[in-house]
Amino acid sequence: MSQHEEFPELTPEALAAYHAAVNAVSKLGPISISSADLRRVLAASLREAMEQTRLAGHCCPNYFVAIANNLHSPPPPPPTLAQALAADLETQEGVETVSAFLATLREAGQP
């Protein structure tokens, strides 16, 4: 499995959106949100706006998708049982796939 970067270095467009949000929030008083949480919120808000645009029958330019993904790129979903069963245990990627699947079982079993 490839290394996933949840918070890549910001592009100029994403940095502009980030600074706009920080400036808006800071005018309200002390900031009580982490940088990571702010990036998650900005990305979620932009993705929701794109979805509403799509539902209204309009297309959304790819650069909006790129900005949202640059602000916060959530990790991919865990491997499925089928993927774990099909994994080649002779390769590092196969071992990582099975390990990631088994980790989801451990998480599901915890209260």
Mean pLDDT, consecutive 10-residue stretches, the chain (111 aa), reads 82 90 81 86 90 84 86 87 94 93 80 56
Question: Which tokens belong to 46?
Answer: 């932009």
Number of domains making up the chain: 2
Same domain, 22 and 66: yes
Residue 2 in any domain: the answer is no
3-class DSSP string for 49-68: HHHHHHHCCCCCCHHHHHHH
Question: Which tokens belong to 17?
Answer: 């959106």
Residue 103: domain span:
77-111
Same domain, 49 and 90: no
Q: Is the pTM of this model over 0.75?
A: no
Contact 76, 6 (CB under 8 A): no
Same domain, 55 and 100: no
Same domain, 17 and 64: yes
Same domain, 87 and 103: yes
Same domain, 22 and 52: yes
Contact 66, 11 (CB under 8 A): yes
At 69, which amino acid appears? N
